Amino acid sequence: MNWKLTGWEGINLSVPEDWELSSVDGNREKGTFSLDDGYSIRVEVEWEYPKSTFSMENLIEKYMKELIKKGKNIKCNIVKIKTNFFADKSGAILHWKNHEEGYSSVSYCKKCGRVLFLRVYFPDKRRSKEIFTRILNSLSEHPEQGRETWAIYKLVFSAPENLKRISSSLKAGDITFTFQETQGKGEISLSQIALGNILLKKQPLSAWTKERMGGKIIEEKQEERDNHSYFYFRYKKKTLSLAWEKGVSWYCPISRRIFLVTGNTDPSLLKIYCHQEK
Ligand SMILES: [Zn+2]
Ligand SMILES: [Zn+2]
């Protein structure tokens, strides 16, 4: 079984390669995402910052009751699994089963005060404990050296932790993220477009970029580096705007995707792994 990284809103975990993002909701403060394997849901992650009155015992009890209510004849227990995940955390691991099986962890991070739920489902009950343990051991929720990793639909990049996602569009083959600095006015967008090899048969990267940017480009430069062609440009976001923003697009011949980074801040704030593993 091959494994890959998934990263969303500062939460990273390794999952089997064919488990892919299927839904997202919320933001950094409170949110959820789920992954499925093309047939059924396999992972759900949920996070929030609880009120100061919260008690872990009550939370676990409430959570167990909810799990039991979700299906027929569910048996649910607290189980012990050897893991380093609970360093600096309080919480528990729950195991439930009927004709299916699942593991959940409920944890409270003493460092940042966040409550995190991880649920992993096993419709066929195979290697369930082993797979759950590997996912749990890989789960991290803090930036590394001030950066956070995002990883979905083969798009893997890292961003400084002070960049907050303000929007994302997750269309098949065309993904866009927009981030804003938490302090200041910096804004940066990143797009990944699939099938670049086909798109660039019709026109060169510069023409593709100009079309995508809606003809707002006012300065340009092309460069070849490590077999990748880059197109650097400046543009005006609005016709009447006085400020010029910066952009770069490139084609990765290995992943055959086009990447486009634009904004009023340094495009290199985002580190994009266009073909290499993180
Ligand atoms: Zn934390
Ligand atoms: Zn590349």
Q: Sheet with 115-122: list strands edge to edge.
A: 20-26, 31-36, 41-48, 115-122, 101-109, 89-97, 75-79
Reported confidence tier of residue 150, pLDDT bands at 50, 70, 90: very high
Ligand nearest to the CA of 258: 2
The percent of residues above 70 in pLDDT, for the chain, comes to 100
Find the 129 Cα to ligand 1 centroid distance in Å: 24
Ligand nearest to the CA of 11: 1
- Please give the DSSP secondary-structure letter assigned to residue 53: T
Residue 154 has pLDDT above 80, yes or no: yes
Do the domains at 3-138 and 147-272 have one common CATH topology? Answer: yes
- Please give the DSSP secondary-structure letter assigned to residue 162: T
pLDDT of 178-203, one tens digit each? 999 998 889 999 999 999 999 999 99
Name the CATH superfamily for 147-272: Mog1/PsbP, alpha/beta/alpha sandwich (3.40.1000.10)
Find the 133 Cα to ligand 1 centroid distance in Å: 19
Residue 71 has pLDDT above 90, yes or no: no
Find the 80 Cα to ligand 1 centroid distance in Å: 21
Find the 141 Cα to ligand 1 centroid distance in Å: 6
Query: Where exactly are the structural domains of the chain?
Result: 3-138, 147-272
* Residue 2 half-sphere exposure toward CB, CA atoms < 13 A: 3
Find the 102 Cα to ligand 2 centroid distance in Å: 38
| Cα distances (angstroms) measured from residue 235 to each of 37, 261, 262 | 41, 12, 9
Give the SS3 label for residue 170.
strand
Say which residues have a Cβ less than 8 Å from residue 89's Cβ, sequence separation at least 6.
Answer: 107, 108, 109, 110
Say what the pTM is. 0.93
pLDDT of 42-51, one tens digit each? 999 999 999 8
Ligand nearest to the CA of 251: 2
Ligand nearest to the CA of 156: 2
1.20.120.530, 3.30.230.10, 3.40.1000.10, 3.40.109.10: CATH of 3-138? 3.40.1000.10
pLDDT of 232-267, one tens digit each? 999 988 777 778 899 999 999 999 999 999 999 999
Residue 109 has pLDDT above 80, yes or no: yes
Residue 125 has pLDDT above 90, yes or no: no
Find the 158 Cα to ligand 2 centroid distance in Å: 15
Find the 31 Cα to ligand 2 centroid distance in Å: 31
Residue 105 has pLDDT above 90, yes or no: yes
What is the CA angle 35-40-43, rounded to 5? Answer: 30
